[in-house]
Structure formats: structure tokens, C-alpha cells
Structure 1
């Protein structure tokens, strides 16, 4: 059995080595010739999967180690008897920690000692948005949830949803919708000229969902104005050929790595391994925890002298500081369009190991219960 897989999916040998022969290829340049003799295809979001790639091949199972599926023509796969599985929610916690780190930086820049004074509008409350909402609610933030499909589908007694316009009134607006174009509540260019004009210089817009949800032309025009909001982008229209001019205009720019914690990536691999095992009628014997290495930093300690807000900021940024990814991306914006695109892909391919907060044990000596609660809400392991 031949398994063709994106070379950037982690732990391919560990999970799939005893199922079949593995052929690693570049996900960005994967072609019909690469997969013609494959039985199994494993991809990430950079590979378009449909008739053009698979017609005439013998592929009978496609797995994507991602939460999104807009790169896969699922209707074509179903018509052609090809099974499909994704990894919904695999990196939700990774993206949530990305957003928390940005909120921490933003609060510090605004001179807020208590970061929970920031109101946050969460647009798209699926696996990722829901995880962010859960953490922020436990931390005591004022949050507004915007998800029209859920609001229409769910009855009273569930979460309280607001309109997009109401979410855009918050200090920070963070986008986590799928990309849809023809369904009700289309998200393509959902944030356009009108929505951007409603934002002020006191606000921050984060997009760690899908690049095409924000109209890039309208965004660049808005950022040229004196009262423009701060903007942090992790996802981009026309990746990997992103605009260096747009990067220059942003408060924070990262190369589509919000979900790139080691835990998130390995969980994605585990989920498609489980789905493939079920498809083949094989027992599911492997779990991600078997393969996670010892973290480079395993423990930090705070005493009763620690300032609560400082302690949270320090611990968060020990695990992940988005400014490092911002610096790497800006440094990659030289050269021709082809060179920049290749550099963008290299940043993702060669991404350094990033561990989630759950990998770090926080020792608290004589600290308050509120600080303990904050660390628990974020997801740290505590030793008291």
C-alpha cells in the first residue's frame, strides 16, 4: 500500500510506517503524477484536492491534518467513492494561545495592568473560536460571540450571540470563521470596506482564520488612513505570495503559524491516523502522547512577590511570543515575488518547535487563588 503524504506532516513514520510505504512530497507543488499510483493521500491546507489532482489515480482515502476543509472538493470525492477525513479542532488550543499572547502584548502596549479590561469580539465560534471564548470567559474578559449560522441553528438557552456590527465594537476583534462563498452567511470578504471603516485606532483586528475573510485591498486602503486600527494577520489572501507592502502596514504579521504548536500538529496527525485505521479495519494503537518529546523548558516558579499580571505575561511568552514570528516574516520579505513566496513556505516548513502551555509546569509559592485560577484557565500545569 502506497501512502503519499505532505512532507510537513509530523510523525508520518511513527503513525503510518507499519501501514504502508510512505512517499513524501511537497504539499505546495503536489501534482497528479505524484499521486497517480497512491492508495492513500495525506495533505495539509496548501494542497488543493479534487478532480485535477486525483482523477485517474487509485486513491481511495484522503486525510487532511487540518481543521479546515475548503481546500478539498468533498463533493467530488464522495461522487467518486473516495473516503475523506479531516482533523477538526486539532489545533484549536494552539490558536487560542496565539490569540492570548497577542492580547497580552496589546494590553501591555495600551498600558493596562489588568488585561481583562479588554473587550473581545469573537467572530466564528466553532472549535477554535469556542476554545478562545472558553479561556477568556474563565479569565474574566468581556466577550461577545458572533456566529450567525449557530445563532440561527441553536435554540434559546445556548450562548448569547451578537451581530457582526456589535462584535466590531469591541476593543479587540478576532476572526475564526471557515471560508465560505456560496452558502448563507458567506464569509468571503466578510470584513470589507464598511466593516473596516467602523474600526478605530483604539481597536485591534486579528485574523487567524482564513485570509480571504478580509478584503485585502480594502484593508490596505484603510491602513493608509490616520485613524486606522491596529491589525495582526496570521492568514493571508494569495498565500504564499503575500504583499510586503501590507506586511509593512501591520502591527503584527506571522506566516500562518497560529496553529503550529507541536501538540496541535501531532494531534492532527493522530486524528487522520485514527480515521485511516477505521477505514482499513485496523486497530487504533497509537496516541500522540507516545511521541511528544520532553519540552526544552519544563518548569517556571513564581513566589508571593510576583505581580499577578506580570506572572501571566511572563509564562505566556515563555511558551510563545508572536513577535519572534513577526520578525522572521518581515526579514523574509526581500527579493522577488517568487523568492518571497518560497521564503514564506520555508518559514512554515522549518518552523521551530513550539510547545503549548500544558507542557510547562508552573510552581506557585504563596501566590493568590486568583493567580492560580488564571494559570489554570490558560492551561498551565500547576504545582502549589
Structure 2
């Protein structure tokens, strides 16, 4: 009789029972308190970023075959140690990319409404053109924006991709950052935006950081903004989290506690991607789909009038129906006002939101490409 594989799964992985119950035995654990003894019987270890996967945790795992993290990032994984042990591992690449793209587009549309400009008139710089950057390129293009792509690493790896220069980035009206944190070397991202580069930005430039806090020198940003340089800054990430620079808060357009990727779909999609990877590894059919597990939206579809051209404010209204960054900004400020050291708890207790993919838009063939490229779940009006 074949022994069932034993899956040890961090307690924050959504829908783990639904995806993995048919594959073997499941034991849940807390990523914040887990010990080597807790998981020593694991055949498969599935985590999020709370679990630090290293020798100290795994040295008693004699049967471990695979480690998966239901996150796009993997700084919590000691890849060198896993390689020494010949243990396969994988992240859930792109699992929260749509959520982060929603965050950036919501920021852009709400700032456009606040300051009375047309987003399509802005030149957009996307710094880092991976899973998130590719989606944002498509979304901003759907809104009629000119897009500049900056990713010298990708340009070196892909002959078909051409990166703009960093000088081109600094000349744009709207800059959004989606790079990994690289502390040194040819393509360092540490303090890409310091006092020198921040002062080169045009007045009223929008600067968004939804990747790693160290990409922007926070002390320099406070100095530049306090001195009166007119930048419109949105930060989801900060240096030295959770001990953030509180002087930044009143200077920001929007601030949030590192939750740009924290949608229900984004978190659950991480579990689904690991399920798909393991089905392939175990040579099993993929029988469960995330879309069949997600709860219904309060408003789950909209039918748009045929042959009608939507205004920017109407796009914004549809965006905000699903996700409105202003609500998260208010909650962040109120939370820190009550307790200045609550950054981590605000992130941990964040009310998971939904993605644009959860709202079905029925429209004619004129609007169909725009809403599809913006990330909505789009269908043609019956008869089209």
C-alpha cells in the first residue's frame, strides 16, 4: 500500500484544503512560530513569506522533496541551501501581478480626478517590466497613454526587448516602480531614487513605489518634499519596515502598508499555482480551478450601453467599484495615528480586497479590447 504524501502548509495559504486534500495528508502550521520539529515529517512544504525557509528550519526534514511559496517574491527562501540538499523549490510567479496593477491604475485615475488632468496625456515610465510591468504596459496603453519601459536586465536577456534609458524615465510625468531589490552590482536598485534623481523630476511628477522600500531613499524623499519640490508620491513600501519614516506620511498622496498585492485572487492564485506545479510534478490531472472556489461579488457584472464612449471619470468609477486606493490610504493613516508602531499589524490584518478580474463587463466590440486590456473579465453583449 502506497503511503500518502504529507503536505505541511502554512496557515495563511487560502483554499489549501480544497486544492490539496485529494493529493495527500495536510498539516497546517503557523509561519511565525514553526519549528524544525513541527515539520520534520514533511514530504512537501508550502509557505508564504512569513516562513523563513532555511537550514535551521529544514535540517530535520529527511523526506522533503519540494518547497513551494505561494508568493511571487522569494527572499525568505534559502535557495543555496535547498540546492545543497537537492530539494526542488518554486515560487508562484505572477500570482499577485493583477492586484498590483490594479493598485497603480487606481492611484493614477484617482490622482487624475483630484488634480483635474487627463491620464492619457501623461507619459508613463514603468521601471521593471516583469509580470507586473507587462500588465501595466498593456493597461496604460488601453487608457491611451504613451509608455516608456525601463528594464536593462530584461534587455540583456531578451534581444527583442529594448530598454529606455534612466534619463528617459526621469523625464516622464508618471513613474511606477516594479523591480526586485538588488543591493549592489551593475544593475543595483538600491536607492535608484535618491536626492540627486528626485530633484531631476519635473514638478507634479507622480512617483509610485509598490515593489521594495529601498528603491527610494526615504530620508532624501522627506528632505526633497519638505523643501517644496512638487512631487505626487504614492508609497506601498517603505525602508526599514515596519519601523517606517513617519515624517513621510503627511507628504504622500496615498500611503498603504505593503498591501498592493493583497487581493483575494492574488493570495488564492498563489495556492492554485503551487497546486498546478505539484500536479505536473506528480503526473496528476489538474482538476480544480480557482474560479470555481471564489465567492461571488456583491456587484458581479455591469452591462454597458452599446456604442457609448466612456469618459475617464466613468472608467474611474468602474475601477473604484472594485478597488479604491483612497479607502486603504484612510485606514493606513488612521491606524498609524492610533498606534505609530502598527505597520505590521495593519498589513497582517488587512481586509483582503478583490481584483478587476472579478467584475464581468458586458460591452460592445468597440469597448471590448479596452476593458480586456485593463484587466476586467470581459464579454461581448449578446448578439455582438
> TM (normalized to structure 1)?
0.88
The equivalent residue for 2:314 is 311
- The alpha-carbon deviation at position 310 of structure 1 amounts to 2.3
Q: 1:106 and 2:111 equivalent?
A: yes
How far apart in 2 are the matches of 1:108 and 1:211?
A: 27
Count of matched residue pairs: 374
How far apart in 1 are the matches of 2:130 and 2:110?
A: 25
The equivalent residue for 2:210 is 208
How far apart in 2 are the matches of 1:147 and 1:65?
A: 25
How far apart in 1 are the matches of 2:219 and 2:52?
A: 24
Query: Contact between 2:40 and 2:61, CA under 8 Å: does it hold in 1?
Result: yes
- The alpha-carbon deviation at position 183 of structure 1 amounts to 4.8
Q: Are residues 138 and 244 of structure 1, via their aligned partners in 2, closer, same or farther at CA, if it must alter by over 3 Å? A: same
Q: Are residues 211 and 20 of structure 1, via their aligned partners in 2, closer, same or farther at CA, if it must alter by over 3 Å? A: farther
How far apart in 1 are the matches of 2:365 and 2:42?
A: 57
Query: Contact between 2:259 and 2:347, CA under 8 Å: does it hold in 1?
Result: no
Instruction: Indicate the larger mover: 183-192 or 265-274.
Output: 183-192
Q: Are residues 36 and 239 of structure 1, via their aligned partners in 2, closer, same or farther at CA, if it must alter by over 3 Å? A: farther
Q: Are residues 340 and 127 of structure 1, via their aligned partners in 2, closer, same or farther at CA, if it must alter by over 3 Å? A: closer
How far apart in 2 are the matches of 1:118 and 1:279?
A: 46
- The alpha-carbon deviation at position 28 of structure 1 amounts to 4.2
Q: Are residues 235 and 222 of structure 1, via their aligned partners in 2, closer, same or farther at CA, if it must alter by over 3 Å? A: same
Show the 5 A alignment for 1:1-384.
1-58=5-62, 59-112=64-117, 114-155=118-159, 158-303=160-305, 307-334=310-337, 339-347=342-350, 351-352=351-352, 354-364=353-363, 369=366, 371-380=367-376, 381-384=378-381
How far apart in 1 are the matches of 2:186 and 2:38?
A: 36
Gaps of 5+ in 2: none
Query: Contact between 1:240 and 1:342, CA under 8 Å: does it hold in 2?
Result: no
Q: Deviations over 1:16-57 (max 9, x none)?
A: 223344333333454445434433222223333222332333
RMSD: 2.5
Q: Secondary structure at the match of 1:122?
A: strand
> TM (normalized to structure 2)?
0.88
Q: Secondary structure at the match of 2:277?
A: helix
- The alpha-carbon deviation at position 336 of structure 1 amounts to 5.6
Gaps of 5+ in 1: none
Query: Contact between 1:361 and 1:383, CA under 8 Å: does it hold in 2?
Result: no
Q: Are residues 139 and 236 of structure 1, via their aligned partners in 2, closer, same or farther at CA, if it must alter by over 3 Å? A: same
Instruction: Indicate the larger mover: 12-21 or 324-333.
Output: 12-21
Q: Are residues 302 and 283 of structure 1, via their aligned partners in 2, closer, same or farther at CA, if it must alter by over 3 Å? A: closer
